[in-house]
Amino acid sequence: MKISPARSAAFDILLKIERDRAFSSILLPEYEKQLTPRDRALCHRLTLGVLRRQLFLDHYINGAARSKNLDLAVHVSLRLGLFQLWFLDKVPAHSAVNESVELVHRAKKSSARTMVNAILRRAKQKPEYSNLADEIERISIESSHPRWLIEKWANQFGADETARLAEANNTESALSFRLTARAPADLSFAGTRPSSSVPGCFLVDKMTPKLSAASADGLIYFQDEGSQLVAAAVDIPFGGSFLDVCASPGSKVTQIAALNASVFPVAGDIYSHRTRFLLENLRSQGVTDAAVVQYDAETTMPFRGKAFDSVLVDAPCTGTGTIRHNPELRYFIRPGDPAELSKKQLRILKNASNLVKEGGSLIYSTCSLEVEEGEQVVDEFIAAESSFRLVQPSVPASHITEAGYARTRPDIDGMDGFFIAALERIRQS
């Protein structure tokens, strides 16, 4: 029996994600190049859908399969089959079952065909699980987030908010984009709406051929509204100097360059492949006057003294605010990661702060929802650095927290979860 190209691609992508800790955002465009628009749409829905419901599917699979140690290919084909049976109305049950069985055969696991066939044929209706230990377990399985993360968020936000947040992570978000430095200022597109939080950010419910062509031509850039909010909060005086410390792939520095024609941005990153990518992104968006530097911001950076009017530290982080766009991330992050990363973030922030001029501005941001990577890093920095003071980030008041930082959340703001702190080096005279 023939396997549809969409299911075959989704199966291969899901295997790679699990085997190699690969990312769907990288693999989907690679695989989808070879697919028709229809297959592309199905492959997309299957891949992201299975990732978003993986623990829910696995809870059933673990009960139904006798063997605890299922072969990965068999496991993935079961997830794909169950997801189609329970979550996709338009897929005929026989296609979902037969093609999953065939995928097992193609993966040379023919001995498991009978079991896969039997499990899928019995699983007609999406189950209501009644055997879950407690509320945390219920949220964890129903929203498919690891228990430790749900527990952590429940301590931080309460159980009800956590359930809403975790469910928001499983929804398709509106697409957000902005014009690049290359675009005519009056370029506009029908069917889009302006963001109420970020000037210059536009939202649209689905991709259109015109938007896709404008993106390919480097006229517009798709970037989450939360990420655009961070760059919009960066304050640079006319003709001032600006450093983006952790800049690749360059979403924020290219936005800053498009907004501030008088500024010559300097942008750096630790990895050569990421600085190359950063350069490509700057070029494709028409940012010609900029410098790209490779360094380790935890140790030494190739700048002398307090060289910059404005510095952005968009630090490496767990990325828990972006799970909506990167559904597999929830399975990759480990409980110790936020605390571990916070040490690195503080080292980078301290090091970068040395480069800020008197009266200059320092923005610290992450796309993490975790306090260890946000508030705690900045509180510790402020406690040790009396030459800096906290100022309110330039974002709408609705995003400002009681402590004077800014936070966004997918369930509350409809954008990725970002943390922003704005600091200013106090003038000595």
Q: Is 294 helix (H, G, I), strand (E, B) or coil?
A: strand
Active site residues per annotation: 367
Give the residue among 145, 170, 146, 166 at the shortest CA–CA distance from 157.
166
Which of 167, 296 has the CB closer to ligand SAM? 296
Tell me which residue has its CB nearest to ligand SAM: 246
- Asked if 248 is part of the footprint of ligand SAM (rule: CB under 6 A), the reply reads yes
Q: Which of 297, 323, 356, 378 binds ligand SAM (CB under 6 A)?
A: 297
Cα 241 from Cα 238, distance rounded (Å): 9
Which of 251, 353 has the CB closer to ligand SAM? 251
The CB-of-266 to ligand SAM minimum distance in angstroms stands at 13
Cα 234 from Cα 326, distance rounded (Å): 26
* Residues in 307-346 that interact with ligand SAM by CB under 6 A: 314, 316
Q: Is 274 helix (H, G, I), strand (E, B) or coil?
A: helix
On whether the CB atoms of residues 302 and 245 are closer than 8 A, the answer is no
Part of the chain binding ligand SAM (CB under 6 A), chosen from 141-149, 263-271, 285-293, 374-382: 263-271
DSSP state of 21: -
Which of 84, 251 has the CB closer to ligand SAM? 251
Q: Which of 246, 356, 421, 423 binds ligand SAM (CB under 6 A)?
A: 246
The CB-of-235 to ligand SAM minimum distance in angstroms stands at 16
Part of the chain binding ligand SAM (CB under 6 A), chosen from 33-41, 171-179, 195-203, 270-278: 270-278
Q: Which of 249, 286, 306, 387 binds ligand SAM (CB under 6 A)?
A: 249
- Binding footprint of ligand SAM, residue count (CB under 6 A): 18
Which of 241, 366 has the CB closer to ligand SAM? 366
Count Cα atoms within 13 angstroms, Cβ side, for 11. Answer: 26
In order of 42, 71, 87, 407, 429, the CA distances from 7 in angstroms are 8, 19, 15, 38, 67
Cα 151 from Cα 239, distance rounded (Å): 47
In order of 59, 118, 387, the CA distances from 123 in angstroms are 13, 9, 63
The CB-of-287 to ligand SAM minimum distance in angstroms stands at 13
Judged by the rule CB under 6 A, the positions of this chain that interact with ligand SAM are 227, 246-252, 269-271, 274, 296-298, 314, 316, 348
